[in-house]
Amino acid sequence: MADEPTRTNLPPLSLYVPEPKFRPGDAVDFTSVPIPPAGETRRPDTADAAGDFTDLAYQLVRVLDEDHAAVGPWNPRLSPDVLRKMLRAMVEVRAFDERMFRAQRQGKTSFYMKCTGEEAVSVAAATALASDDMCFPSYRQQGLLIARGWSMVDMMNQIYSNKGDRLQGKQLPIMYSVRDASFFSISGNLTTQYPQAVGWAMASAAKGDTRIAAAWCGEGSTAEGDFHSACTFASVYRAPVIFNVVNNQWAISSFSGFAGAESTTFAARAIGYGIAGLRVDGNDALAVYAATAWAAERARTNQGPTLIEHFTYRVEGHSTSDDPGQYRSAGEPSAWPLGDPVARLKAHLIAIGEWDEERHAAQDKDVAEGVKRAQKEAEANGILGHGLHQPLDTLFDGVFEEMPWHLREQQAQMIAEETASGRPWARK
């Protein structure tokens, strides 16, 4: 075989490595982020074919304008009572986050994750969904439970892994599991909830049920194989499921460019699968509600799945184990052009004459006192740093419907050893 010619006339190949625009100490300028006017994006009929509105994957559904008015075809025209309910739930989420964050810093639990700036993504969606629609969350959707009226005491018990923890300390703090609230168990493994949501939705359709599924993940998690497997199955079987991609610009210390944000939008990933794709202002509670309600109607009428990219910003660190000051500019959160979801909904209610600063201040106080009472009640059941709160042999419970013989042997051996040692951990 003859020697291949040397390509001396070509430049060497180079590898492109994405780089965030702002690093610690840099001045922040988000003017290059395209923010279309509210009300500009068209609203297709829920029965339209996904291929007829692929342009919406590159636009931004917005309802609240600069004057705090609700405008355009996506305006859900919600009653003031519903708007106030969403506002209170978002305020509750923020107060809950603040108190649990401080609890972690005080050594009362090992770990916590706040969703500051992303409250609308979960609260507005929960309001738009039916209460028995099954939610498959990631680890920053505590707003789903709070919006559905679930007990904060129960959530705190789980965070503290205390004797009141229904999960018996078997889940990491903030990885809730609430079947009665149609809230699937949170997993620390990224995006495993996506194919699970599709499977649940397919089963609901196969049984002729009317309930749909909704799943959430971060933009970085769209690089996981589970995301693409879920999209394939949902597309092929037209599963009644809503995929929510929370694009909060950062996946731990990696900016969204490493997940492909520089090449296209995350909503555009729906196009290749033949799935309906929407890109939504994630800090606009009315836009999130409208998009979720639209996608839910589409799912319930057998039009198939929808992928919604929520364009938002993670104000705080990834978790209590993270220091965002080490990898991003301190000016980013305050400079984010889509503002604060709580402040925007509050301003809208004031603008339409259905709220005021005095009532908001009173609500803040009432919510803060309510969260404080819940914390006191939960801490009466113990905190993580005060030792083992569950009988040690419950380690074997809840894994199998019927415990296999080899686990029974291990459980009996452990109980015998604990009893012989005189340690009071075993319940038998």
117: nearest Cα among 136, 140, 139, 145? 140
User: If the chain, 428 residues long, is cut into consecutive pieces of 10 residues, what is the mean pLDDT of each piece?
Assistant: 73 94 95 95 98 98 98 98 98 98 96 97 98 97 98 98 93 96 96 98 98 97 96 98 97 92 96 98 98 98 98 96 94 96 98 98 98 98 84 82 92 87 62
Q: Verify that 343 and 415 share a domain, yes or no.
A: no
Q: Verify that 330 and 395 share a domain, yes or no.
A: no
Q: Looking at the domain assignment, is residue 173 inside a domain?
A: yes
Q: Looking at the domain assignment, is residue 120 inside a domain?
A: yes
Q: Verify that 271 and 417 share a domain, yes or no.
A: no
User: pLDDT at position 2, please?
Assistant: 62
Q: Looking at the domain assignment, is residue 30 inside a domain?
A: no
Q: Verify that 328 and 413 share a domain, yes or no.
A: no
Q: Verify that 335 and 402 share a domain, yes or no.
A: no
Quick one: 286 exposed, middle or buried, by C-beta within 10 A (0-12, 13-18, 19+)? buried
User: pLDDT at position 428, please?
Assistant: 45
The verdict on pTM exceeding 0.85 is yes
Q: Verify that 96 and 174 share a domain, yes or no.
A: yes
User: pLDDT at position 17, please?
Assistant: 96
Q: Looking at the domain assignment, is residue 21 inside a domain?
A: no
Q: Which domain holds residue 417?
A: 391-421
Q: Verify that 414 and 338 share a domain, yes or no.
A: no
Rounded CA separation 126/418 (Å) = 46
Q: Verify that 397 and 264 share a domain, yes or no.
A: no
User: pLDDT at position 425, please?
Assistant: 59
Q: Verify that 357 and 247 share a domain, yes or no.
A: yes
Rounded CA separation 99/155 (Å) = 13
For residue 250, give both structure tokens: 């950062």
Q: Verify that 293 and 400 share a domain, yes or no.
A: no
User: pLDDT at position 1, please?
Assistant: 56
- How many domains does one find in the chain? 2
User: pLDDT at position 427, please?
Assistant: 54
